[in-house]
Amino acid sequence: MDTGTPTNAVKLTKRAVEALTYQGTNNGAWYVWDSQLKGFGVRVFPSGRKSFLVSYRSNGRRRFFTLGTFGKDMTADEARKTAKAALGDAARGQDPAATKEAERRGETMADLAAAYLDRHASTKKSGADDRRRLETYILPRWRNLKAKAVKRADVAALHSKIGKAGKPYEANRVLALLSKLFELARRWGYVPEDHVNPARDIDRFKEQKRDRWITPEELPHLAAAINAEPNESARFGLWLYLLTGARKSELLQARWEDVDEARGTLRLADTKAGRTHYIPLSGPALALLRELPRQPGNPYILPGHGPRGATAVEKAKAPAHLVNISKPWNRVRTAATLARWRDVPEVAALIDRLTAARAAAKSKHAAKDWTPAPSLADIREAAAAEGVDLPPAIDDVRLHDLRRTVGSWLAQAGNSLHLIGRVLNHSNASTTQVYARFGEDTVRAALEQHGARILGSAGLAPAADVAHLPAPVNRCGTCTFWAEDHRNAPGGLCIAQRSPYFKKNRGALAEACRRYAHDDEAPDLSTRTAAG
């Protein structure tokens, strides 16, 4: 390549550049350099086009940086001024060509998003959520906008719009994603090093910790609905969620090789906490796994159907686990809600009337899967119009709430937060703290006992009459554990772990256990002796 020599250098004025003609060979590059500003030159193409450029050294390599086309982008005088600035940057250790390349790569938000998904999101367990938020909220708004042109006011407006649409949690997640996106853009050179992150210093929406779990009153209806679910993998999976407290993806991806029946454990290698977690399998969980049929050639505990449209041979070569458990779960919680509502005769009659009306109005063009059963929304609307009170619904329970149910029930049974954290594989103790509220009655009982002992030892009596607060409904006044009617308790056994009668038949020991103070079928309180 002929880069020109000092002997053919000329002062690159407008007239001099206009007079230049291509002198190269075989269509190769041909340069003419300025006689006064070292490194400033012009490249002449066989077509006659002329581009100004500068030549400099960076990290021991010779670099060329194109400034623009003569006549189209700039004049000779403008090119000289730009060249002086670029050569000055190079003299200070910068690389003008690399800077321009970085700006070109990060020219739009679409470029930055593509790099983020490839280099960062692909390594995250929540990468699919990042992709969804980019495609739903960020790219439709700023796809063709330069990354460095996004301002804090733009991000604040997007955050506010999502939050005001009734999605404050999602708005905060989008804000966090943008903050990470621009931090990586700075590290990767997609925006200048001193670029201010536009997602910083924006107030987030207040988030309320979700506190939904399955109550003992809701469980019978939910259990019946789960057992009636036609999808076998989903049916067993929902029961395993309730029995183990595992996260959705961790259980869906579990394999039979992870089950150690001899030790009674389920090994989860790929967990959110980033460590292998062993779940002790209870008797009911082991019984469920023994009942679960294995699919030949499929290693997953909860097998799936594989990609839609794939042939049987393709599915056999790449066996899949259950992926979409949301649809079966929606069916289950809808059926459980309907069953609970039908326990009330007035509501059952309302549902029957709506069903009959829909059946009578059925169109001949109705879909094949059409049913006369009204939707929950239809029932709510009709109930509101007729002034009918509906029992609490179950359709607001999310799949993750089954995991929260495990923690809540363990806490109610008197287990420590540390133990619950181990069961649920929490990395942070603060995550488990949400279950501390279930121990408040235990604390109250302990302080009541402590206060009585203090006053008794001091030989003092309370200055005023003590008002004994009634125990909460279905709550035992002594041991503070949930006092279910013994008909609904497993085998009628005592579940108070600190009681001398733990796991013994409560019916036979009713006269010795004040746990039955609120049990209608227990012997009269006056005929019993309190447990020690």
Q: How confident is the model at residue 410 (pLDDT cuts 50, 70, 90)?
A: confident
Fold of 212-343+391-468: hpI Integrase; Chain A (1.10.443)
Contact 441/478 with Cβ under 8 angstroms?
A: no
Q: Which residues contact 521 (CB under 8 A, 6 or more apart)?
A: 485, 486, 487
Q: How many CB atoms lie within 10 A of CB 218?
A: 20
Query: Binning pLDDT at 50, 70 and 90, where does residue 471 land?
Result: very low
Domain residue ranges of the chain, discontinuous segments joined by +: 6-105, 109-188, 212-343+391-468, 470-532
Query: Which residues does 425 contact at the CB level (< 8 Å), separation at least 6?
Result: 268, 271, 272, 273, 275, 277
pLDDT at 216 over 70: yes
For residues 60 and 36, the answer to whether their CB atoms sit within 8 Å is no
pLDDT digits (tens, 9 = 90+) for 18-52: 999 998 888 888 999 999 999 999 999 999 999 99
pLDDT at res. 6: 44
CATH number of 6-105: 3.40.930.10, 3.30.390.50, 3.30.160.390, 2.40.30.260? 3.30.160.390
What are the strands of the beta sheet with 277-280, ordered from one edge?
259-260, 265-268, 277-280
- B/e letters for 430-441, b = 16+ CB within 10 Å, e = fewer, are eebebbeebbeb
pLDDT digits (tens, 9 = 90+) for 121-154: 888 878 889 999 999 999 999 998 888 899 999 9
Rounded to 5 degrees, what are φ and ψ at 235? -60, -50
Q: What is the mean pLDDT of residues 409-419?
A: 72
What pLDDT score was predicted for residue 339?
A: 93
How would you classify the pairing of strands 259-260 and 40-44? unpaired
